[in-house]
Amino acid sequence: MIDKLVQDINAFVLKNHADTAPFGGGIGDLVKDGYVKQLKKRDKVRDAKTLYFSELGDTCPRRMWFKYHKPNIGEALRSETKIKFIYGDMLEALVLQLARDSGHSVEREQEVVEHVDDNTGWRVRGRIDAVIDGHVVDVKSVTKQSERKFHDGLTEDPFGYYGQLNGYANVLKSKDMGFLTIQKELGHINYFPFGADEQVFEHTVARAIRSVDRDAPVEDLLAPVPQSATSKNKKLCTTCSYCPFKRECFPSLRAFAYSNKVEFLTDVVDLPRVPEIDLNKVESDEA
């Protein structure tokens, strides 16, 4: 049962299996595939009238429109972002292998699933991470801080994680789904169950199609937020700060290099006492 998944993985790791562990059921291929996938050139060409499940939960209809109609005008991915995705794929392969070796059923890894909207002819396509013990599972490598949003039930979900997984579960006609997380710093593994919702799925599909099936993007922008509780400056919200099309929406955007991150400011009342960055040299950290 998936309720014991984390407990069983931890117990498996603590045992001295020596050379008798059933390890090796394809993890090498999974790591290699993830490595190649992230490093190969992406042609950014998609089939007509096709969306991806990773786009269903996107809170910004403008980003969806640009991704579909003008993908090549977005910022390029940063090298460190590609590396982050590579070890994210490696951690996913590790966690799924541990689930399998600890006695749990792991099926349908990277299986392509598709939903066709009969009213419009649009398709939504994607690859599921796995089905574990009958539960549709998405594996996420997280930090201790970012894991908190799963503890909180994804009440804040700027990257649309729920919409993506809910889409997979509905296509597979499963009510049971959840996120299997591994902390990159500490190695902690957790499982967070969620319930699939057919009405939410239908709404997100219809919303995504409306966002892209038009001649121009919607005009409404996601609102900037205060840079801090005491600052008069305003910055991009989390969703916009990761977007490769941020300058299409905010042409006067300015970037400043703080010690731990880059802040994208839309309104500068008090000039920050840190270096300003040439936005032409800033690449994307898209999630």
Length of the chain in terms of residues written:
287
Query: Is 66's pLDDT higher than 80?
Result: yes
Overall CATH class of domain 2-212: alpha beta
DSSP category for residue 166: H
Answer yes or no: are the C-beta atoms of 101 and 12 closer than 8 Å.
Answer: yes
pLDDT in tens, 197-237: 999 999 999 999 999 999 999 999 999 999 999 999 999 99
Q: How far apart are CA 163 and CA 54, in angstroms?
A: 8
Dump the DSSP string for 182-223: EETTT--EEEEEEE--HHHHHHHHHHHHHHHSSSS--SPPPP
In angstroms, how far is CA 273 from the centroid of its own chain? 33
pLDDT in tens, 239-250: 999 999 999 999
Q: How far apart are CA 131 and CA 286, in angstroms?
A: 26
Return the minimum-mean-pLDDT range out of 12-16, 70-74, 186-190: 12-16
Give the 3-state secondary structure percentages of the chain, helix then strand then coil, rounded to 5.
40, 20, 40
DSSP category for residue 216: S
Q: Return the higher-pLDDT residue of 277 and 80.
A: 277
The mean per-residue pLDDT over the stretch 240-261 comes to 92
Kindly state the tokens that stand for 228.
């801090």
Dump the DSSP string for 217-267: --SPPPPPEESSSS-S-EE--HHHHT-TTHHHH-TT-EEEE-SS-EEEEEE
What residues form DSSP beta bridges with 113?
126
What local confidence, expressed as pLDDT, does residue 43 receive?
58
Please, which pLDDT band fits residue 131 given cuts at 50, 70 and 90? very high
Q: CATH 3.90.320.10 spans which residues of the chain?
A: 2-212
